[in-house]
Amino acid sequence: MLQCRYEYQVKLAGGTIRYVPIRPPEGNPMANGSDWTIDMAELEGTINERTKMIYLNNPHNPLGKVFSRAELTAIGNLCVTYGLVLLSDEVYERIVFPPHSVSDTDAVHTRVASISPEIFAHTLTVVSLAKLFNATGWRVGFVIGPDVLMQPVIATHLVLAYSSSGPAQDACAIGLREAERLDWWSVNARDYVMPGAAWFIFVSVDNISVPEEYNYPPLVAKHGTKDWKTCYFLVQEFGIASIPGTCFYGEDNKALGARYLRFGACKSDEGLRLAAERLQKLKPYILGERTF
Q: Cβ distance 234 to 241 under 8 Å?
A: yes
Pairing mode, strands 53-57 and 260-264: unpaired
From CA 171, how far away is CA 103, in angstroms rounded? 29
Tens-place pLDDT, residues 74-125: 999 999 999 999 999 998 887 776 655 434 444 478 999 999 999 999 999 9
Q: What is the pLDDT along the chain (292 residues), one digit of tens a residue?
A: 556 678 888 888 899 999 999 988 887 666 777 788 999 999 999 999 999 999 999 988 888 888 999 999 999 999 999 999 999 999 888 777 665 543 444 447 899 999 999 999 999 999 988 887 877 778 888 999 999 999 999 998 888 877 778 888 899 889 888 988 887 766 654 555 555 666 678 888 888 888 777 888 888 888 878 899 889 999 999 998 999 988 888 888 888 888 889 887 777 778 888 988 898 888 878 755 554 3
Handedness of CA 65, 66, 70, 71 (dihedral sign): positive
Q: Is the pTM of this model over 0.75?
A: no
All CATH 3.40.640.10 domain ranges of the chain, comma separated, are 4-186
As a whole number of angstroms, the distance between CA 134 and CA 144 comes to 21
Instruction: Please list the residue range(s) of the chain that carry CATH number 3.90.1150.10.
Output: 205-287
- The CATH number that domain 4-186 falls under is 3.40.640.10
Whether residue 195 contacts residue 101, with contact meaning beta carbons closer than 8 Å, is answered with no
| Spatial distance between the Cα atoms of 277 and 289, rounded to a whole number of angstroms | 19
Residues 126 and 91: beta-carbon distance below 8 Å = yes
We find that the CATH architecture of domain 205-287 is Alpha-Beta Complex (3.90)
Q: Are 210 and 230 in contact (CB under 8 A)?
A: yes
Residues 236 and 120: their CA atoms lie apart, in Å, by 47
